[in-house]
Amino acid sequence: MPTPPDPSVLYPDVAACGNLAAALRAEADGCLAAVPVTSSDFAPLCHAAVASTLPHRKPLAISAWSHERRWSIRGEEPFQGMPLIEGRTDDLAEVARAARAWHDGATLDDIRQAAPFVHLTGRFEVPDNDPARLTESEWQGMRQEAAELEAAWRETYHSLIEAAHAEPALRALYPFTSHWVLRFSTTTRPALTIVGPSLSAGSDGTYGVGRGFISQEFAQFATAREAVAVAVRRLPSGLGPTTLGG
């Protein structure tokens, strides 16, 4: 990969302002006048953050791309550090509108209305960190991600996620993935407690059940429903409600 240009080359207007926070204010046409906007100390031309008035939102992270002129945003909830909104655009004024809405506590849908480049991850806000609601939110985010996936095996993976969510015993557990393998936990992030087998969707249209993230030693099946049924049978008995991790 070629060495990226100096940020001042891609972003001369930001360099002229001194940092990304100042450039963001300049593009905001006054809408960020009373809003806390900060730039990072280590890369002031490339990174900025906008705080929110809501305690269950982390500051909106704004980052400049290194190889082309574009910005990304990421808005997380603080307990797990999972994104509620993301987005990328070459319009810094759009970033400012999203930042103002995030700061003001606008609903996620209203942030999307204010700045159409914003992508909602499917997760919803859980201000009291209720573990059952965090689990529900993570399932919703995972189902949306599977539906939006552009990989060739999207249909197979999407079928797996939907089949697992349809099973009450699995839906009650906190879902997570690694290498696109579905696992389950009795606790939420940030400290997961893995339980039961893993489920995977193969590029050949089959579904595997195994112990780890890439193994399928228990069995392979032609349908997601068959694989999910085996996973449920291999769950330990006496699992209680999901609890907070950490």
* Dihedral, 13, 15, 19, 25 alpha carbons, nearest 10: -20
Q: Residue 75: its pLDDT value, please?
A: 98
Q: Residue 215: its pLDDT value, please?
A: 59
Nearest-angstrom CA–CA distance, 92 and 88 = 10
Residue ranges, the chain, pLDDT below 50:
none
**C-beta neighbour count of 113 within 10 angstroms:** 13
Q: Residue 212: its pLDDT value, please?
A: 74
pTM of the model: 0.94
The DSSP 8-state label assigned to residue 5 in this structure reads P
The residues spanned by each domain of the chain are: 7-120, 131-233
* Residue 166 vs residues 40, 119, 185: alpha-carbon distances, Å: 44, 25, 17
